[in-house]
A and B are shown apart, each in its own frame.
Chain A
Amino acid sequence: MSDAPQVLLDGLAYVESARWHDGRLWFAHWGAGGVVAVGLDGKSEVMAAGPPRLGWSIDWLPDGRLLTTGEQLLRQEPDGSMVRHADLTGVAEHGWNEIVVDGRGNIYLNGFGGGPGPMASGPTGSAWTPMARSGFRPPTPLLTPTATTPPRARSSGSARAAR
Chain B
Amino acid sequence: VTDRFEHDRAIFAAALGGPDGRTLFLAAAEWRGTGQINEALAARTGQILTAPAPAPGAGYP
Contact = CB atoms under 8 A, between A and B. Distances in A.
Contacts of A7: 47-49
Nearest to A32: B41
Nearest to A146: B59
A20 B18 contact: yes
A38 interface: yes
Given A31-B41, A100-B61, A9 B3 contact: no
Interface string B12-48: 1111111101011111110000000100110011111
A59 B49 contact: no
The B interface is mostly helix, strand or loop, or mixed, namely: strand
Given A2-B4, A15-B47, A25 B15 contact: yes
A25 B49 contact: no
A20 B15 CA distance: 7
A27 interface: yes
Chain B residues touching A, range:
35 or more
Interface residues of A, number: 40
Nearest to A44: B48
Contacts of B7: 4-5
Contacts of A25: 15, 17, 25, 48
Contacts of A5: 5, 7, 24, 26, 49-51
B59 A144 contact: yes
Nearest to B53: A2
A20 B17 contact: yes
In the A-B complex, the 5 residue pairs with the closest CB atoms: A20-B17, A12-B46, A15-B27, A5-B49, A31-B41
